[in-house]
Amino acid sequence: WLPALLWALHGLLAEARLKWALALALFAALSFYGGYPQLFLYMAEFCGVFAVAGFFLVTPRQARLRVAGLAGLASVLALGWMMPLLLPQLEFTREASRSLDGLSLPDASTPFILTRALVEGTTRDLGDLAAGFPSGPILGRVALPALFIPLALCGLLAKGLRGYWAFFALSGLGIGLLILGPQTPAFAAYYALPLTDLFRGPIRLACLYVFCGAMLVGIGIEGLTRFIRGKSEGRPWATVAGLVLMLLVAGDTYLRTRLISAHPSNHENARGAPAELIEFLRERPGRERIYFETHQLYAPGFLLKAGSINGFFLAGDYEPSLHRTYLDYFDWRGKGPWHGNSTVLRGDR
């Protein structure tokens, strides 16, 4: 929903028309109904920064009062349309294991991306690199297309788009500092903002970082095609070059994405666990609930959601969604149980 939100927001800032305010409210509500509060907060904050910059750089001075009024209307409408989900969500969160108390800065700061992984993801092709995690490294990276740097620089050729280029370049740099977590003071400053202590994992800001990179690449291709068009004297070379670059970037990006969930066609019958374990679980006549404990080690070919994937059981085993009664059930006295990593101490449980 982020491109749709920015599209509607830019239309509102540039034209000050009611239709863009209604579209912005609709897209905001739909993105909230996507069911991912953490990313919704990130998108709202990003759109807020875009709105402030655009209000002074895009909106005509004589239209600013009308834009402010329409933005307020869009906010009220969006909040009203969100209420059927927001109210029960708040009601349930009070009964969840984390509640609304928030996390400490050390807990909220992990997992994050190592500085080397971030830099190499921008400057060269990658092997597997490690992301920071409290109890040891796990595989993780944030990679941009191989042509990112030259194409991003070509964005300076796009007259009329240089302000947008500067916004996404500065935003990408700022977000890059945030996803480094405790390696820089940037995330500690961000943590002081309202609501940010409710979520953990600076690595989840990577989607905004990659989005800014995509916008820079797109502006760069536009600038390069404009330059070629000016030199080709009516020949179609600019269009051909733009299409070829687009295909190269798309193909390179696909090849750099190695997640099973992103490449299901490359992993036939990927069931999240070894075949022997799946067969063992299928043969259990009672189908009692099974809890996997991995001690936070990265296990290739094994997913903690293997039971749900194969239809054995479905349990709310992610800590923020874990009801407080689960903590009593397991006699839990430690920190929040991440992803169902709970040890059953008594035989009758």
**How far is 199 from 193, CA to CA, in rounded Å?**
12
- Name which residue leads in pLDDT, 307 or 31: 31
Note the pLDDT of residue 298.
53
- Name which residue leads in pLDDT, 215 or 136: 215
Percent of the chain with pLDDT over 90: 48
Residue 323 bridge partners (DSSP): 96
Split at pLDDT 50, 70, 90, the class of 274 is confident
Which of 288, 145, 270 has its CA nearest to residue 218? Answer: 145
Q: What is the DSSP string of 165-203?
A: HHHHHHHHHHHHHHHTGGGSTHHHHHHTSTTGGG---GG
**Edge to edge, what strands does the sheet with 130-132 contain?**
112-113, 130-132, 138-139
The mean per-residue pLDDT over the stretch 86-100 comes to 83
Is the pTM above the cut of 0.85? no
The mean per-residue pLDDT over the stretch 134-151 comes to 68
Note the pLDDT of residue 139.
47
**How far is 179 from 59, CA to CA, in rounded Å?**
31
What is residue 96's DSSP assignment?
A: B
Note the pLDDT of residue 270.
65
Summarize pLDDT for 221-252 with one digit per residue, the tens.
Answer: 999 999 998 888 777 889 999 999 999 998 88
Taking the CB of residue 326, how many other CB atoms lie within 10 A of it? 19
